[in-house]
Structure 1
Amino acid sequence: MTTTPPTGSEQGLSGPLAGVVVLDLSRVLAGPYATMLLSDLGATVIKVESPQGDETRTWRPPERDGESTYFQSVNRNKQSIALDLGDEQDRETLEALLVRADVLVENFKPGGLARFGLDYPTLSEKYPGLIYASLSGFGHEGPGAKLPGYDVLAQGASGLMHVTGSPDGEPTKAGVAVVDVISGLHLYGAVLAALYERASSGKGQHLTANLMLSMLSGLVNQTSAAANTGNSPRRMGNEHPSLFPYGPFRTADGEIIIACGNNGQFARLCTALGCPEAAEDSRWQTMAGRNEHRDPLRDLLEEKLGQQSSEHWSAALREVGVPSAPINDVVGGLDFARQLGMEPTVELTREDGTSAASVAHPVKWSRSEVSYRSAPPRLDENREQILRWLQV
């Protein structure tokens, strides 16, 4: 561990993870997302890339100032150095980084780093305090170790696509790489716990996560239902298997989301819509009854909602404590967060005057600092500073 950051621009680095050094050998999304969250909390994250760079640098459009917005989404606060692991001098540079590292994160194919002498058994002998975090698609042992780790494969294999989409339609992929995101969050949490454990044991350890188990965990109630009953949940479109009303409902000019999780919220909804007697109807007095008699209840609710606009109902329902929200596009989502007094984005400016908008860290701390120190780095941008730091 070192408290001295590799770049002069980060002197005075603070945050709950200040002094923690992370070597990020991962690419694409899950690993970089985890390491970016660590960097937001003050960790020094050095992104070790191949001479060709993280492939998401080339994933465009969309782009801003010639830079991929995909790459920008998960790589702020990092320093980049390009190293060819097949080159002896570059491996020596990586070894020098390892001397100072607390954490290494990688998503090479299982066993892929062994040929460079960078596998966990080898490095744990040299650096017993190193926390070595590995991410794969379908496990690091057994037949799954040979399978490629793409988000869409895990969406399909886990059952997520089977429960996503219209009841009479095809299995549908989620609109974002949700498996990668969940896997990154799981890895982030595991690294934090391993750092905490090391404070008492003095020892590092090997953390292995994979997309498949992360998504099965992320399916929560759906996986629990399958495990406990042996029956696979079915596709229900925008419906919830256990709650009603819970989802989009038509209004005079569009749709609005309504989510009633208990009888009190349902009664307030009925009163706001001008049909308080519906809450006393024997068919709908309980959640089980509302689930069983969804169709007539939907017809009644949409008849009432159809008398006013979505904007009207959104305000009216919030006023009486009925959970509701508009259905926005992503730009609208950012605007809605701002309307609620949130600051969903930050602007990060480079020395050359170009900048990148970055989605803010989602957790606020009452004492500790979350920091936005630098825009996503260009390939090998910080080589000189890092080498000076290492005195190589």
Structure 2
Amino acid sequence: MQPLENIKVLDLSRVLAAPTGTMLLGDLGAEVIRIEHPEGSDSMREWGPFSNGQSTYYLSANRNKKSITLDLKLESEREKFKKLVKDADIIIENFKTGDMEKLGVHYKELQKVNPSIIHIAVTGFGQTGPLASEPGFDPVIQAMSGLMDITGAIDGEPTRVGVPIVDILTSHYVVIGALAALRQRDLTGKGQFIDLSLFDVQLSSMANVTSAYLNAGYISKRLGNQHNNIAPYQAFKCKDGLIMICAGTDSQFVKLCNMLDRSEWIQDERFKTNVLRKTHENLLADMINEITFTKNREDWLGLLQEYKIPGGQVLTVAEALEHPQTKARNLIGEIEHPTYGNIKFIKNPLQFSELNIDYKNAPPILGEHNEILSELEDDNY
């Protein structure tokens, strides 16, 4: 039995943040019904590259779902939607603030149909504030949250993270919010509305950077592969590429000195503490680079493991997917779709002792499960 086996989720979302969240709920056993406009409302389906005619971007966020189509601008279609709501547990949507009200299917209206419904609204900036009506896109939020300002080369421009990190983080909060609301409903019998904002998520994910400013007035800088607070804690050059070395404590720095055959650095007044090492970080990095450049990444990796110093090779995506650790963890899965064939994906990272996650449904074609609509009971809600 799956933990969310009896939970029905109506997924009115598109692109990445909310769809990834509903996919994760599907991984845990929820029945996820994806609802789109009959002509398609998710631009992600159009983004390449493609595999057997399907967007690989779309495939990354939509396994373990069914797909139906409804035009919520039509009264008859809204009635069908409300019939679905009557037997649902969770609604997840990422319409612009106010759009659900315009359609007449907002939380207060749906609450009349199902008082225990949980409604999660994912927007760029939330339901309140001066930017509430503005659309939210991952790069925009990265820019506005300060994330880009602390990302990139020291002498370069602010840089976007290489994956849509705000969307990904928000998807996790979709799941956290859904599970918390389900648990509270178990205790109180009441559903609720959850206002989830990409901007809020990213600002809350700035961790030590915002803490440093709020509590010490410290403004973190763009440091490339270096760390704002720790040294040496960055990528170093090898003969055949880069290796990340993270000597986060004084004891680890002592081990690093011994590994590099530079025990004299241990007593060097410039490097005795992390504060001093951070002060002289660039000098120390240059000294380490002179040594690391004499060997290949694999050679240094073996030494780092021997000396028990955190570190790892800077790999390409292809190298990461082919890494023995990836294979040992059995992280790559496959699902067969009857129309477009086999797809590969990265499995859910949760590995339970008493649960096997079931990857039962490949990402659906638009309207693939419209038979659900014909099965709706002709009753009054």
Aligned to 1:313, what secondary structure does the other structure show? helix
Q: TM-score, normalised by structure 2?
A: 0.95
1:93 counterpart = 2:80: yes
Cα offset for 1:388? Answer: 5.3
| CA separation of 1:370 and 1:54: change in aligned 2, threshold 3 A | farther
Cα pair 1:56 1:70 within 8 Å, conserved: no
| Structure 1: distance between partners of 2:117 and 2:374 | 23
- Worse-superposed segment, 36-45 or 347-356: 347-356
Q: How do 1:17-166 residues align onto structure 2 when only pairs under 5 Å count?
A: 17-166=4-153
- Worse-superposed segment, 274-283 or 144-153: 274-283
Query: Structure 2 stretches of 5 or more lacking a match?
Result: none
Cα offset for 1:58? Answer: 3.5
| Structure 2: distance between partners of 1:298 and 1:135 | 43
Q: How do 1:94-243 residues align onto structure 2 when only pairs under 5 Å count?
A: 94-243=81-230
Q: Deviations over 1:204-237 (max 9, x none)?
A: 0000010111110111111112222344322111
| Structure 2: distance between partners of 1:341 and 1:390 | 45
1:293 counterpart = 2:249: no
| Structure 2: distance between partners of 1:237 and 1:93 | 52
Aligned to 1:143, what secondary structure does the other structure show? coil
Q: TM-score, normalised by structure 1?
A: 0.92
Cα pair 1:22 1:45 within 8 Å, conserved: yes
**RMSD across aligned positions (CA):** 1.6
- Worse-superposed segment, 15-24 or 117-126: 117-126
Instruction: Provide the residue aligned with 1:381 in structure 2.
Output: 368
Cα pair 1:56 1:68 within 8 Å, conserved: no
| Structure 2: distance between partners of 1:367 and 1:321 | 32
Q: How do 1:315-334 residues align onto structure 2 when only pairs under 5 Å count?
A: 315-334=302-321
Q: Deviations over 1:14-52 (max 9, x none)?
A: 311111100001110100011111110001100011112
| Structure 2: distance between partners of 1:337 and 1:286 | 36
| Structure 2: distance between partners of 1:59 and 1:378 | 13
Instruction: Provide the residue aligned with 1:10 in structure 2.
Output: none
- Worse-superposed segment, 181-190 or 373-382: 181-190
Instruction: Provide the residue aligned with 1:277 in structure 2.
Output: 264
- Worse-superposed segment, 209-218 or 141-150: 141-150
Identity over aligned residues, as a percent?
38
Cα offset for 1:106? Answer: 0.6
Cα pair 2:320 2:326 within 8 Å, conserved: no
Instruction: Provide the residue aligned with 2:322 in structure 1.
Output: 335
Cα offset for 1:88? Answer: 2.6
| Structure 2: distance between partners of 1:96 and 1:276 | 73
| CA separation of 1:308 and 1:37: change in aligned 2, threshold 3 A | same
| Structure 1: distance between partners of 2:43 and 2:264 | 56
Q: Deviations over 1:33-84 (max 9, x none)?
A: 1111111000110001111224244433211111001111110000000111
- Worse-superposed segment, 166-175 or 64-73: 166-175
| Structure 2: distance between partners of 1:59 and 1:266 | 49
Query: Structure 1 stretches of 5 or more lacking a match?
Result: 1-13
Aligned to 1:146, what secondary structure does the other structure show? coil
Q: Deviations over 1:141-186 (max 9, x none)?
A: 2321121111111111111111111122111111111111111111
1:266 counterpart = 2:253: yes
Cα pair 2:36 2:42 within 8 Å, conserved: no
Cα pair 1:28 1:54 within 8 Å, conserved: no
Instruction: Provide the residue aligned with 2:357 in structure 1.
Output: 370
In the alignment, residue 184 of structure 2 is paired with which amino acid? E
Cα pair 2:85 2:113 within 8 Å, conserved: no
Instruction: Provide the residue aligned with 2:290 in structure 1.
Output: 303
Say how many residue pairs are matched. Answer: 378
| Structure 2: distance between partners of 1:232 and 1:265 | 27
| CA separation of 1:295 and 1:116: change in aligned 2, threshold 3 A | closer
Q: Deviations over 1:119-149 (max 9, x none)?
A: 1111123311111000111121232112111
Aligned to 1:387, what secondary structure does the other structure show? helix
Cα pair 2:17 2:167 within 8 Å, conserved: yes
| Structure 2: distance between partners of 1:183 and 1:352 | 31
Cα offset for 1:352? Answer: 3.4
Cα pair 1:337 1:344 within 8 Å, conserved: no
2:332 to 345, 348, 357: 345
